[in-house]
């Protein structure tokens, strides 16, 4: 067990050590400074010319959002029809069927919004063509969209007074060519050389040691798995995601994939400090996020390595921890660490089944997604944290009797209202969605949308409630992991979570960009002795308090009905 804990510590420290120089590099890329990948400029110039884009055109926050939302709509329509007609298209050696309209609706939205909630099994639900030209494509562009939105925030914070948040197309293309593609290429090569498939061959037939014949799916998986981790996408090439021995062959690949989950979200925090020349602010934000991250990791590692409380009551020894739903080659500690890394970053990939986590661990994973701001998804994690900063600035200003200010700009009623609405929206989507599912389950057991609601749950009672709560929490947080005891491939879950996916992705992007656009356009107020310092440890603690209080008030009741009730019933 000490060796397992050492592995966890090494993974975290390596993530931080790699994130610092990467953050500096990202800041240079978007500041227009010289970097090693400047040789990509001719390719970028060709893309601009081909698409008729002026990369130097300035955009205010409304124009920036209009460009982002328009191209996202185009990608959705493209993905939807590709998924429906995938059985009639080439590169389908296993003869997989086309998706139903409701499943295609959910899948297209899910990958478009960087969530990758999969209501299908990866190797049997998609063809090689749609795995590459729909799923992998969307994993690149959705991650680049998140980075572009964050860089727009950086631009608004950098200048004293400005109406220019940058050019969406220029930032988007550079995020793809100079950040996501190079890192994915390196990681894809590492995975391929460690046993992850990277060919277009169909299923292979093997004979097991017991003499059974098994068909094993393959395909060009290595590249897709690289961007799924680096872009905090999370969708698996195979149905069981990174618990599959071909998707995550050994402990070394597990280290690489875990670091990849954390790398860019961490790096973007450091990039903030370098880009706007406020390193101390970046350190305060990183410290606040990391404190909660370490607390959550400690809780989950403790409960997963301690073992299943039900088996404890029976006096059954569990020297290697609770191993239900986990891979022996990885161990309980590494799986527990992954469960927090993947929910802190909106990644959603899994190397063990979250439905098999002990009750407290499952509850912490849900709480992590409910906060949705510890490192967060690529780009959008800091956007979500920015909302908490605005609320903390407002409350702090009231406490000291001064007009709230952030980065030299007054925070007024309009900005606070937007922040409050975004915060309340997440609570509404999660709790209203779960309540609606529970209502259908109880009051309409024989009438459902294409499926009897009673067939949703393989587990009754508290854990069944947790399965429904987890699904809406994951959809709202653009996470994509799930308690897979839930039967979710039906019209009810495909449509309801699809709606939550859209609102949970775009409104938390629109809100922060509107706030920073409004703030940046105001007159700059020089810092004085009475100005609230937002780069101090005190303000970091204040922001943490805001996060904890808002989350506790919003989500304690459903958590009490689900994972907490399950834990105490087992005790």
Tens of pLDDT, residue by residue over 43-99, are: 999 999 999 999 999 999 999 999 999 999 999 999 999 999 999 999 998 889 999
pLDDT at 448: 47
pTM of the model: 0.94
The total number of structural domains in the chain stands at: 2
Question: Is position 409 within any domain?
Answer: yes
pLDDT at 213: 82
- Please state, in angstroms and rounded to a whole number, the distance separating the CA atoms of residues 179 and 231: 10
- Please state, in angstroms and rounded to a whole number, the distance separating the CA atoms of residues 368 and 470: 11
Inform me whether the pLDDT recorded for 238 exceeds 60. yes
- Please state, in angstroms and rounded to a whole number, the distance separating the CA atoms of residues 342 and 286: 17
Of 15-29, 230-244, 372-386, 390-404, the one with minimum mean pLDDT is: 390-404
The stretch 435-464 carries a mean pLDDT of 72
Question: Is position 45 within any domain?
Answer: yes
State the residue range of the domain holding 441: 380-570
The stretch 502-509 carries a mean pLDDT of 95
Distances (CA, A) of 12 to 23, 260, 262, 564: 16, 11, 8, 28
pLDDT at 446: 54
Q: Of 277, 300, 315, which residue sits at a domain end? A: 277
CB 154 within 8 A of CB 277: no
Strands (E), 140-239: 204-207, 213-216
Question: Is position 5 within any domain?
Answer: no
pLDDT in tens, 510-553: 999 999 999 999 888 887 766 778 888 989 999 999 999 999 99
pLDDT in tens, 147-164: 999 999 999 999 888 899
Question: Is position 431 within any domain?
Answer: yes
Does residue 271 share a domain with residue 125? Answer: yes
Q: Of 277, 311, 330, which residue sits at a domain end? A: 277
Inform me whether the pLDDT recorded for 209 exceeds 60. yes
**CA nearest neighbour of 337 among 470, 180, 240, 347:** 347
| Structure-block tokens of residue 443 | 């009051």
Does residue 85 share a domain with residue 232? Answer: yes
pLDDT at 216: 82
- Please state, in angstroms and rounded to a whole number, the distance separating the CA atoms of residues 248 and 240: 11
Question: Is position 413 within any domain?
Answer: yes
Does residue 394 share a domain with residue 251? Answer: no
Inform me whether the pLDDT recorded for 445 exceeds 60. no
The dihedral region occupied by 449, where left means phi > 0, alpha psi between -120 and 50, and beta the remainder, is: beta
pLDDT at 444: 63
Does residue 388 share a domain with residue 253? Answer: no
Question: Is position 240 within any domain?
Answer: yes
pLDDT at 297: 96
Helix, strand, or coil (residue 455): helix
Q: Of 252, 277, 302, which residue sits at a domain end? A: 277
Distances (CA, A) of 335 to 289, 325, 342, 387: 21, 10, 10, 31
pLDDT in tens, 348-397: 999 999 999 999 999 999 999 999 999 988 989 999 999 999 999 999 88
Question: Is position 349 within any domain?
Answer: no
pLDDT at 211: 78
Quickly count: other Cβ atoms within 10 Å of residue 510's Cβ.
18
Question: Is position 447 within any domain?
Answer: yes
CB 485 within 8 A of CB 458: yes
């Amino acid at each position: 067990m000490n060796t397992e804990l050492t592995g966890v510590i090494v993974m975290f420290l390596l993530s931080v050590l790699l994130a610092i120089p990467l953050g500096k590099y990202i800041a240079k890329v978007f500041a227009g400074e010289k970097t090693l990948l400047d040789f990509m400029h001719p390719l970028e110039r060709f893309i601009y010319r081909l698409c008729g884009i002026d990369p130097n055109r300035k955009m205010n926050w409304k124009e920036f959002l209009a460009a982002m939302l328009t191209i996202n709509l185009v990608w959705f329509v493209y993905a939807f029809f590709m998924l429906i007609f995938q059985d009639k298209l080439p590169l389908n050696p296993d003869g997989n069927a086309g998706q139903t309209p409701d499943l295609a609706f959910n899948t297209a939205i899910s990958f478009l919004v960087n969530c990758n909630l999969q209501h299908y099994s990866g190797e049997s639900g998609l063809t090689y063509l749609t795995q590459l030209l729909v799923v992998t494509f969307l994993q690149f562009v959705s991650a680049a969209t998140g980075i572009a939105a964050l860089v727009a925030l950086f631009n608004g914070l950098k200048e004293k007074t400005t109406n220019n948040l940058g050019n969406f197309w220029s930032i988007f293309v550079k995020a793809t060519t100079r950040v996501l593609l190079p890192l994915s290429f390196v990681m894809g090569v590492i995975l391929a050389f460690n046993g992850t498939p990277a060919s277009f061959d169909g299923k292979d037939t093997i004979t097991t040691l017991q003499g059974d014949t098994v068909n094993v799916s393959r395909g060009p998986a290595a590249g897709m798995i690289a961007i799924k981790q680096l872009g905090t996408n999370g969708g698996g090439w195979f149905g069981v995601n990174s618990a599959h021995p071909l998707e995550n062959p050994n402990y070394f690949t597990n280290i690489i994939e875990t670091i990849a989950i954390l790398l860019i979200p961490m790096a973007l925090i450091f990039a903030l400090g370098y880009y706007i020349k406020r390193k101390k602010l970046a350190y305060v934000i990183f410290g606040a996020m990391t404190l909660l991250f370490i607390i959550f990791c400690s809780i989950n590692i403790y409960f997963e390595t301690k073992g299943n409380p039900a088996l404890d009551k029976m006096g059954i020894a569990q020297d290697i921890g609770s191993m239900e739903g986990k891979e022996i080659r990885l161990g309980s500690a590494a799986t527990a660490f992954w469960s927090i890394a993947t929910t802190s970053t909106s990644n959603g990939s899994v190397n063990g089944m979250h439905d098999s986590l002990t009750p407290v661990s499952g509850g912490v994973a849900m709480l992590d997604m409910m906060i949705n701001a510890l490192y967060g998804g690529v780009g959008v994690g800091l956007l979500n944290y920015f909302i908490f900063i605005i609320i903390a600035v407002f409350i702090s200003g009231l406490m000291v009797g001064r007009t709230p200010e952030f980065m030299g700009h007054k925070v007024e009623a309009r900005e606070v209202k937007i922040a409050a609405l975004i915060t309340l929206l997440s609570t509404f989507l999660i709790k209203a969605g779960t309540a609606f599912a529970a209502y259908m389950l109880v009051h309409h057991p024989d009438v459902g949308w294409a499926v009897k609601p009673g067939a949703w749950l393989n587990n009754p009672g508290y854990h069944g409630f947790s399965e429904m709560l987890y699904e809406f929490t994951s959809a709202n947080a653009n996470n994509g992991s799930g308690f897979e005891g839930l039967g979710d491939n039906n019209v009810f879950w495909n449509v309801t979570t699809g709606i939550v996916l859209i609102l949970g992705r775009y409104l938390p992007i629109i809100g922060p960009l509107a706030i920073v656009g409004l703030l940046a356009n105001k007159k700059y107020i020089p810092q004085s002795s009475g100005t609230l310092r937002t780069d101090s440890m005190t303000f970091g603690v204040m922001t943490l308090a805001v996060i904890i209080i808002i989350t506790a008030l919003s989500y304690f009741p459903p958590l009490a009905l689900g994972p907490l009730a399950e834990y105490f019933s087992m005790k």
